[in-house]
């Protein structure tokens, strides 16, 4: 009986020790997440508070004070997670401001680069929507994509229509005949229709803008829906709206 009680006691101690070790490992993982979120830069106060607790936990581990280390580990996790979220929020806000500044700096972009202007607004509005919904990782991704898009399309560069001779005759907008009526098929997207009719997917906003009476959201078009494909060039058709959702990311 005494031997059995001794075994149960040792097992219980080992189990508790394992739980304490697991908690300290979770604390270390939380600190790594904060570091990857660039918390030292975007949430320095919160990260420093977590780091103080993390160092105290490690000192307790070095002294083999497992119970104390376990208690401190919970503080580390809470403060590190706060640092991560704060960093993501602050980074998203900073990138959105940067993208807004880049757009404002190109004073004539809406007139001289209408396709680029419209597409970068998609990224900006998507980032702002994600930020409002507290989806900060998505906001960071969308804002950074918008910044990269502008960097890859500097002022003066235009996304041009391909030469008419290079287009498939079955998919050519006939400017003399005017607009084309198209019945949406299964699996169709505005992105794909733009590629089909204009040989570039980036002009999907022209189709969306021309069909706002039947398309409420650009990521929701359905089979049998009848839409119009406008004759297209930067001078023939002007985009006047911005788009709150980047349907390609849905």
pLDDT in tens, 187-242: 888 888 888 888 888 888 888 887 877 887 887 788 878 888 887 643 344 444 44
Is the residue at 67 inside a domain?
yes
Give residue 20's pLDDT. 57
**What pLDDT score was predicted for residue 249?**
38
Last residue of a domain, one of 88, 112, 142: 88
Residue 85 scores a pLDDT above 80: yes
* Tally of domains in the chain: 2
Q: What percent of the chain has pLDDT over 70?
A: 74
The reply to whether 28 falls in a domain is yes
Task: Provide the pLDDT for residue 12.
Answer: 44
| Best mean pLDDT range from 9-13, 59-63, 185-189 | 59-63
Give 165-184 pLDDT, tens digit per residue: 333 333 334 433 457 778 88
Lookup: tokens for 197: 């009719």
Say which residue, 21 or 127, is predicted with more confidence.
127
Place of tokens 């600190």: 31
**Is 223 within a domain?**
yes
Residue 183 lies inside a defined structural domain of this protein: yes
Q: Does residue 112 form part of some domain?
A: no
Positive or negative: CA dihedral 128, 130, 133, 137:
negative
What residue has token string 């001794």?
6
Q: Compute the average pLDDT of residues 47-65.
A: 95
Q: What gap in Å lies between CA 187 and CA 189, rounded to an integer?
A: 7
Q: Is residue 173 part of a domain?
A: yes
In a domain, 184, yes or no: yes
Write down which residue in 62, 88, 114 finishes a domain: 88
| Residue 99 domain-assigned (yes or no) | no
Banded model confidence at residue 102, pLDDT cuts 50, 70, 90: very high
Q: Select from 212, 242, 245 the least CA-distant residue to 227.
A: 212
Calculate mean pLDDT across residues 96-116: 85
**Residue span of the structural domain in which 14 resides:** 2-88
pLDDT at 36: 96
Looking up residue 192, the CATH number of its domain turns out to be 3.10.350.10
Task: Give the residue from 35, 62, 88 where a domain finishes.
Answer: 88
Q: What is the mean pLDDT of the chain?
A: 77
Please give the Cα distance from 102 to 88 (Å, whole number).
Answer: 21
CB 44 within 8 A of CB 11: no
């Amino acid at each position: 009986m005494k031997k059995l009680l001794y075994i149960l006691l040792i097992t219980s101690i080992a189990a508790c020790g394992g739980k304490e070790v697991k908690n300290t490992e979770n604390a270390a993982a939380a600190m790594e997440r904060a570091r990857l979120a660039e918390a030292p830069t975007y949430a320095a106060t919160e990260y420093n508070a977590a780091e103080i607790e993390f160092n105290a936990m490690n000192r307790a581990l070095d002294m083999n004070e497992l119970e104390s280390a376990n208690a401190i580990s919970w503080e580390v996790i809470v403060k590190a997670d706060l640092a991560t979220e704060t960093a993501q929020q602050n980074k998203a806000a900073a990138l959105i401001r940067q993208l807004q500044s880049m757009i404002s700096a190109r004073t004539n972009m809406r007139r001289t680069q209408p396709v680029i202007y419209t597409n970068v607004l998609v990224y900006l509005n998507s980032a702002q929507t994600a930020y409002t919904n507290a989806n900060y990782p998505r906001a960071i991704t969308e804002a950074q994509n918008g910044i990269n898009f502008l960097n890859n399309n500097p002022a003066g560069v235009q996304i041009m229509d391909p030469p008419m001779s290079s287009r498939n005759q079955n998919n050519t907008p006939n400017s003399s005949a005017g607009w084309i009526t198209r019945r949406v098929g299964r699996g169709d997207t505005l992105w794909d229709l733009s590629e089909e009719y204009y040989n570039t997917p980036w002009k999907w906003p022209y189709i969306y803008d021309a069909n706002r009476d039947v398309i409420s959201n650009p990521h929701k078009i359905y089979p049998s829906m009848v839409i119009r494909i406008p004759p297209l060039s930067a001078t023939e058709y002007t985009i006047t709206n911005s788009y709150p959702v980047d349907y390609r990311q849905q």
